[in-house]
């Protein structure tokens, strides 16, 4: 969609499905409202994590709502990543360049690999830049694995914190887990963490080893996938019968100390 002459476009946060990488993904309409598919189909400018998977997503969208232009003619740019190393950052000018179509009056879609853009996602930096440039940001409704896992956990949904990835090294990870467990007990909040799938088992082992026995721990694996599951037990119970967790599927780990 193009705005009226002289009007800036909008940064549209387009939700993706949660089954990224699945060999048998569920029908798109089962995850996203029809209005979201129609809005996505109308966009000609995109900023995405990965162009290849974004084209696959848009091809699925096109099966439900006609794209406004042939897929190969859409502008699809990838989000920049900061180079590794202390103090490295993406220059402000790079973010601004991605928003140039909006300044010229065109709406831009922001797409994550899975779930909601800018939530546990590098797209947040582009949203920040859009606000700084006075652009309208329009979030479209869709699923977030973090919120689905929280809702299904039975843990405190009134006070919670997403703590992201925990340290990889054993000593640092153990210290961080104990710190989060203590903070959860003091404040009564739910802590939410994620991990790269191939390290799922290692994180689960560390949580069972370093959380207090009375802490309630929920493991939500492949939420949004046909084979997804979510189970909550006290750590003392999990220790006697830990769940088998895939090293290929995304997982969310939630815990609340008492």
Q: What percent of the chain has pLDDT over 70?
A: 93
Q: What local confidence, expressed as pLDDT, does residue 6 receive?
A: 62
Q: Rounded to whole angstroms, how far apart are CA atoms 38 and 68?
A: 10
Q: Which residues contact 6 (CB under 8 A, 6 or more apart)?
A: 105
Mean pLDDT of the chain: 91
pLDDT bracket for residue 2 (50, 70, 90): very low
CB contact at 8 A, 207 and 217: yes
pTM: 0.87
Rounded to a whole number of angstroms, the distance between the first and last alpha carbons of the chain is 51
Q: Rounded to whole angstroms, how far apart are CA atoms 228 and 20?
A: 13
Instruction: Show the domains of the chain with their CATH numbers.
Output: 10-139 (3.40.1010.10), 145-256 (3.30.950.10)
* Relative orientation angle of helices 200-210 and 170-187, to the nearest 10 degrees: 60
Task: Give me the phi and psi of 76, to 5 degrees please.
Answer: -125, 110
Confidence check: pLDDT of 249 > 60 = yes
C-alpha of 151 from chain center: 16
Supply the DSSP string of 139-153, one letter for each residue: EPP---HHHHHHHHH
For 29-70, how does the pLDDT look when each residue is reduced to its tens digit (9 = 90+)? Answer: 888 999 999 999 999 999 999 999 999 999 999 999 999 999
């Amino acid at each position: 969609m193009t705005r009226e002459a002289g009007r800036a476009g909008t940064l549209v946060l387009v939700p993706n499905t949660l089954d990224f990488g699945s060999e048998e993904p569920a029908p798109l309409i089962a995850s996203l409202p029809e209005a979201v598919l129609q809005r996505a189909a109308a966009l000609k400018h995109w900023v995405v994590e990965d162009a290849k998977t974004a084209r696959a997503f848009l091809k699925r969208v096109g099966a439900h709502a006609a794209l406004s232009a042939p897929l190969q003619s859409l502008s699809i740019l990838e989000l920049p990543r900061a180079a590794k190393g202390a103090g490295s950052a993406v220059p402000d000018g790079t973010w601004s360049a991605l928003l140039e179509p909006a300044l010229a009056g065109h709406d831009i879609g922001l797409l994550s690999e899975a779930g909601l853009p800018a939530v546990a996602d590098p797209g947040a930096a582009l949203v920040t830049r859009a606000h700084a440039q006075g652009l309208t940001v329009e979030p479209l409704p869709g699923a977030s694995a973090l919120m689905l896992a929280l809702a299904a956990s039975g843990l405190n949904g009134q006070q919670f914190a997403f703590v992201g990835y925990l340290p990889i090294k054993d000593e640092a990870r153990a210290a961080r887990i104990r710190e989060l467990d203590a903070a959860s007990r003091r404040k009564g909040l739910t802590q939410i963490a994620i991990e790269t799938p191939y390290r799922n088992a290692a994180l689960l082992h560390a949580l069972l080893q370093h959380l207090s026995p009375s802490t309630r721990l929920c493991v939500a694996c492949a939420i949004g996938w046909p084979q997804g599951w979510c189970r909550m037990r006290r750590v003392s119970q999990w220790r006697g019968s830990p769940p088998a967790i895939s090293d290929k599927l995304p997982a969310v780990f939630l815990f609340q100390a008492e």
